Structure 1
Amino acid sequence: MDEGYFPAGRSLLRSVHDERVVGLFYGQRALAVGALDPRNFVGTIQSSAGRKAPFRRLQRTADAFETVFFGTREEADRMLARVDRMHERVSGELAHASGPYPAGTPYAAFDPELMLWTVAVTFDSAQTFYELFVRELSAAEREQLWQEYRRFGVLFGMPASTAPATYPEFRAWFDGRLAGDHMHLTPEARYTGRAIAFEIPMGRGREPAKRLHDAIMRGALPPRVRELYGLRWAAADARRFRAGVAVVRGGRRLAPRALTHGSCSISYAQTAAVERARLRDGRPTPQVPEPGAATGAPVG
């Protein structure tokens, strides 16, 4: 039987992403944190055909990841080949100086350092929301999850030698990188990251759910990331965050398993559909601006 690269019942990565409360949050956080590397931001967001519909792009990425998380090896391999073909077109140079990176700095989807950064922000976001909403992982489980994420990165073409060998090494590297001088937000990245984190398209009547979502997302960002985005963090925000986490944890425990586990593809598609409808009606959610465009800060 083709059980996929992450077999049910044996893969911790699969168990983590089988939790819908993880699937509904981790992608936005990963993109917001990932945008702190200007090469990553320009190489993914700006070169994407989804500039006018960033949540459609997020849906495509999340669906591709879920195919690898949950699919058979045959299904995963088809998706990996498709992503590989798309990545072949992603390369270039920074048009403008961005923090520590001068104009002309190259970027490419297959740059091992940038591939590691993408895996790192995805892993860190998945771990963060699992431990917030489900339970804290043991040291051994954190190690297992990181090793499976290393394999996940290798499936997409990341050289295994690029990634920290153990979870403690990863944590030291990642936390040090966030605190370092190489983290920089261009005006476009700051605008886009805030929009992706706090402007998720929801249907009418979902205002309470959006306020809950935004309170949790703000609190789940590392302090350094909130600082770079210019997001306030006061005692009232901390209280809202703790209350929001408690609501989600309690709801997860009370809801039937059929609602709390499995693919989030339907939810991703619904979000993209709301974005598409708003764009059609002339009420678009914040779009990724053109490089060099004047950008005000979206709400959040």
Structure 2
Amino acid sequence: MDDGYFPEGRSLLRSVHEERMVGLFYGQRALAIGALDPRNFVGTIQSSNGRLAPFRRLARTAAAFETVFFGTRAEADRMLERVDRLHHRVSGELPSDAGAFPAGTHYSAFDPELMLWTVAVTFDSALWFHELLVRRLSDAERETLWQEYRRFGALFGMPLKAAPADYPAFRAWYDARLAGGEMHLTPEARYTGRAIAFEIPFPRSQVPAKQVHDLVMLGSFPPRVREQYGLRWTRAHAVAFPLAVASLRAARTVAPKRMTRGSSRRSYDVIAAVERNRLLRGVPTPQVPAPGAVAERATAAR
């Protein structure tokens, strides 16, 4: 039988991502943190239609990942081939200086360092929300999850030698990189990352749920990330955050298993549909500005 690359009942990675508390949060956090590498952000935006419909792109990416997480090998291989074709378009140079990276710096979807960065922010976000909203993993489970994520990255073409060999090495590398001087948000990346994290187009009926979502998302960001985005973390946030987490944990405990575990694709489709309908009605949806537009807008305001 074709049980996929991450077989049900035997794969910890699959078990983690089957938790909808993970599936509904990790992608936004991963994209927002991932944008701190200017090469990652510019390469993605310049080679996709994420500029006009960022949430549709988020939904497509999450659905593609779920195909690899949950699908058969045949289904996953078809998706991997499609992504590989798309990645051949992701190659270019930074149009302007971006922190430690000067204009003209080359980027490519096949750069092992950028592949690792994408895997790293995804892994860290999935682990973070699982431990926050479901349960804490043991040291052995963290190691297993990281090894499965290394395999996940390799399926997309990341050389295994590019990734830290074990979880402690990953944690040391990731924390150092997050604190390092190469982390920089361009004005466009700051605008986009905040929109992805906090302006997700929930249906009107779910506005109260969005308030809880936004608080949990804000609390999930490391202090360095909040600093880069100019996000405030007040005493009121610190008091409300554990209450929001407790409410989500309690809701998961009492809800039927069919509501708490499984694919989150239906939710991704809802978000994409809400954005599409807004665009059709001419209602503004957060869009990635053209390069330089945010800086020009700030200059004009002054």
- C-alpha separation in 1, matches of 2:73 and 2:284: 38
Distance 1:294 1:103 in 2: 18
Higher helix share: 2
Deviation digits for residues 191-245 of structure 1, max 9, x if unmatched?
A: 0000000000011132211100000000001111001100001111112221111
1:113 aligns with 2:79: no
Partner of 1:84: 84
Q: 1:237 maps to which residue?
A: 237
Give ranges in structure 2 of 5+ residues lacking alignment: none
- CA distance in 1 between partners of 2:223 and 2:7 (Å): 35
Give 3-state SS (helix, strand or coil) of 1:107's partner. Answer: strand
CA distance in structure 1 between the partners assigned to 2:250 and 2:285 by the alignment = 30
Structure 1: which 4+ aligned runs deviate by more than 2 Å? 294-297
**Aligned match of 1:140:** 140
Quote how far apart the aligned CAs of 1:284 are. Answer: 2.2
Tell me if 1:192 matches 2:192: yes
1: distance between equivalents of 2:284 and 2:149?
35
AA aligned opposite 1:263: S
CA RMSD of aligned residues (A): 1.0
Q: Secondary structure at the match of 1:95?
A: coil
Contact 1:275 1:284 in 2 (8 A): no
Check the 8 A contact 2:112/2:159 in 1, yes or no.
yes
User: Within 1, Cα distance between the matches of 2:133 and 2:247?
Assistant: 9
* 3-state SS in 2 of match to 1:206: helix
1-10 or 283-292, larger mean C-alpha shift: 283-292
TM-score normalised to structure 2 length: 0.97
Letter in 2 for 1:19: E
Range with bigger deviation, 237-246 or 71-80: 237-246
For the residues of structure 1 that align with 2:36 and 2:292, how far apart are their CA atoms?
Answer: 17
**Separation in 2, partners of 1:117, 1:5:** 22
Give the aligned partner of residue 21 of structure 1: 21
SS of 2:113's partner is helix
3-state SS, counterpart of residue 291 of structure 1: coil
Instruction: Indicate the residue corresponding to 1:53 in structure 2.
Output: 53
SS at 1:211's partner residue?
helix
Secondary structure in 2 matching 1:258: helix
- 1:167-178 matched pairs, under 5 angstroms: 167-178=167-178
Q: Which residue of 2 aligns with 1:210?
A: 210
CA contact (8 A) 1:119 1:153 kept: yes
SS of the residue 1:294 aligns to: helix
Query: What is the aligned partner in structure 2 of residue 31 from structure 1?
Result: 31
Task: Return the offset for 1:49.
Answer: 1.6
Q: Is 2:262 the counterpart of 1:262?
A: yes
Displacement of 1:279 = 1.1
Contact 1:46 1:288 in 2 (8 A): no
For residues 133-189 of structure 1, the C-alpha deviation after alignment (integer angstroms, 9 at most, x for no partner) is 110000000000000000000000000000000000000000000111000000000
Aligned length: 297
**CA contact 1:179–1:224 (8 Å) conserved in 2:** yes
TM-score by length of 1: 0.97
Query: Which residue of the partner structure matches residue 99 of structure 2?
Result: 99
Residue 92 of structure 1 aligns to a residue whose secondary structure is: strand
